[in-house]
Structure 1
């Protein structure tokens, strides 16, 4: 497995990410071509070699014409859709901007449709995010791990006035992410950097075991008493089976001991209908020996707020746990098989060793069993036998 480790000892920003990618060998011309297709006014990436406290690194500056536009998410999404980026690059860029919109909306008590992008809607921030999406795709890694992230201390001036570091959106984006105990004066991690890393990284912690292939260093614009660089380490590891697909989902979890059972069941039904990937109810024992139920919901990132609202509305919980986790899934496809009981549907999963596993679809088999008067187990067996013959 090809893996990337982000050593964010001095935090992370959009330009530091671009610098590290280019320093690691990503073609800056490819990044420029993708950014050009957005139709931004005279936007150019300029790379220079600099030294930060004695360490060489690549610094990226986004040169562009002055502008005063404040964009909404749909403006940026339209730019991405019209661009020449690949589908994978468009999705990654869209995911990063969606995370930013969700954070900004929560901070300002608005919605992702209405929230204004201020600093992150400027040309240089758009170029940073689009360039990062293109660069990570071209880097071709299967897994991204990041070190604990320092944010810095003090105050910064943003569109809404003077605020403490980390900026509100940065803090929201880093919720659940381990922060490093390193607090120099100044902003080390920006909202753009936080959105990029929390979209890319599946976990945060020490560098995994790997055989290093290349190292890229991206320089920040500011100078500190330490080297203001982001180090990108790319290598190969064999600690996970091949063939697995990875994505990131949100897990919502709460313990209930005073919600009637029928209300919990109704809540579970509402969660399924709203797009949950999985809903599980686990019997548990709570304080003072009271029996309870642990409700666990898995969902896509863009549905987390909606499903969280359902849990609060339909149960008596006063709080829930929310975390972003990596999910590894087997590649799968849906098939139909011919049996004496008719055409039955099923799912075929491809295991890491290349073999396939067939699972009949319950609803298809149930209908066949009811129509023919056959035992459900026999319908399952007929479907599996038909697949085995193909």
Structure 2
């Protein structure tokens, strides 16, 4: 899987995104042509600059000063008329829609009535549409992003002096891990926030990539003591079929009846947890307690935490990524004297597989036949062993083409 990872150690903006994309290998001429098709009074160019002593690509957008504000429908019309692919138009609309919805919530008005201030200006339209084109041309399967530093201090906006992060930026970044902002400046703009939150499927540390290219996108300003650049890593995810990454959620409980804990584990499994288990622990003041551990995919974290907070008295849930090394797996069925039993084969490369019978099948059969559960498990394993032995002793299947032909050719 090919991944693009945005390292926003110095924040993210529209021009930084454009510069990083071109620096990572996207054809800047294709982006410039797409921007020209917007038929707006502005020009886009790319140049090599230095930020904090490092070479980077800067996206220069030159536009005349204007005072007009555009509504969502006007921006949507501009995008629809441009010479872009369907996927590029859809991505540009999605980024602007995220901006519009944030502005609407901040100002308490409907999306149809909101008029974009700074982000509705020509330079912001060029930044977003150009970025949508570049992101599409980069040709990756997935985007990820680091934690985002919003910035600190104050800025002058349409409505006067505002603390950072700007209200729209703060709204867009809800649910996104934020990084410390040691420098007093706007490090992440509403445009930059909208871009990364629209495309990124995960926010966190750099994944295990085999890096193909690194793009450096320059910010407009030089910043004392820090390179004002956005890094874009492009590479192939080191994704083995026998390994993956999931998340572990943990919480400690010492004031709940066992029935509630048991009920909670059932609801977690029903909601899609990969595994749930409990561990006896000793808590503060020597109180006996229980730790509930939940293994789940990253996409399931919100659902799992909602159940833990709803069903228990916990005040917090720990979460951390864990790596798994898994056996190759295959579903099989074996015929026993009690009937068909489903199971799984698990094996490492170049090693014989092991058979595991499905508990649900064995429990049902044991109940129906009035026999011990262990007897059904033994019968299933014996049936698999017989089948393996018979397969090893059977001669290989041949076709007429496999026999030697007595005539020379």
Report the TM-score when normalising by structure 2: 0.60
For residues 254 and 339 of structure 2, the distance between their equivalents in structure 1, rounded to whole angstroms, comes to 46
Question: What's the secondary structure of 2:361's corresponding residue?
Answer: helix
| Correspondences of 1:223-234 after superposition (within 5 Å) | 224-225=223-224, 227-234=227-234
Counterpart contact for 1:11–1:149, Cα < 8 Å: yes
| Correspondences of 1:50-199 after superposition (within 5 Å) | 50-53=48-51, 55-59=55-59, 67-69=70-72, 124=125, 127=129, 134=136, 138-139=139-140, 146=146, 150-156=149-155, 163-167=162-166, 168-169=170-171, 172-175=174-177, 179=180, 182-188=182-188, 190-192=192-194, 195=197, 199=201
> Cα RMSD over matched residues?
5.6
| Correspondences of 1:1-390 after superposition (within 5 Å) | 6-13=6-13, 15-27=15-27, 48-53=46-51, 55-59=55-59, 67-69=70-72, 124=125, 127=129, 134=136, 138-139=139-140, 146=146, 150-156=149-155, 163-167=162-166, 168-169=170-171, 172-175=174-177, 179=180, 182-188=182-188, 190-192=192-194, 195=197, 199-200=201-202, 202-203=204-205, 213-221=212-220, 224-225=223-224, 227-234=227-234, 242-244=240-242, 246=244, 251-322=248-319, 325=321, 330=326, 335-340=331-336, 342-347=339-344, 359-371=356-368, 373=371, 374-383=375-384, 386=387, 389=391
Counterpart contact for 2:329–2:345, Cα < 8 Å: yes
How many residues matched?
Answer: 348
For residues 121 and 161 of structure 1, the distance between their equivalents in structure 2, rounded to whole angstroms, comes to 16
Counterpart contact for 2:355–2:381, Cα < 8 Å: no
Counterpart contact for 1:254–1:317, Cα < 8 Å: yes
Q: Deviations over 1:260-304 (max 9, x none)?
A: 111111122222223333322121110111111112234455544
For structure 2, which runs of at least 5 residues remain unmatched after alignment? 74-84, 109-113, 393-409
Counterpart contact for 1:242–1:352, Cα < 8 Å: no
From the superposition, tell whether residues 156 and 270 of structure 1 become closer, same or farther in structure 2 (CA, over 3 Å).
Answer: farther
From the superposition, tell whether residues 27 and 132 of structure 1 become closer, same or farther in structure 2 (CA, over 3 Å).
Answer: closer
Q: Deviations over 1:160-198 (max 9, x none)?
A: 9865323524664443x6536x31422346423653696
Deviates more, 1:277-286 or 1:46-55: 46-55
Report the TM-score when normalising by structure 1: 0.63
State the 1:333 CA deviation: 6.2
Question: What's the secondary structure of 2:267's corresponding residue?
Answer: helix
Question: What's the secondary structure of 1:276's corresponding residue?
Answer: coil
Counterpart contact for 1:335–1:347, Cα < 8 Å: yes
Larger Rg: 2
Q: Deviations over 1:125-180 (max 9, x none)?
A: 875785576466x2468x9685x7543222357899865323524664443x6536
Q: Deviations over 1:299-331 (max 9, x none)?
A: 4555444433322222122333355x3655659
For residues 116 and 144 of structure 2, the distance between their equivalents in structure 1, rounded to whole angstroms, comes to 28
From the superposition, tell whether residues 46 and 351 of structure 1 become closer, same or farther in structure 2 (CA, over 3 Å).
Answer: farther
State the 1:368 CA deviation: 4.2
Q: Deviations over 1:235-281 (max 9, x none)?
A: 689xx67334646x554432111111111111222222233333221
For residues 315 and 187 of structure 2, the distance between their equivalents in structure 1, rounded to whole angstroms, comes to 34
Counterpart contact for 1:369–1:376, Cα < 8 Å: no
* Aligned match of 1:74: none
For residues 197 and 48 of structure 1, the distance between their equivalents in structure 2, rounded to whole angstroms, comes to 23
For residues 117 and 7 of structure 1, the distance between their equivalents in structure 2, rounded to whole angstroms, comes to 31
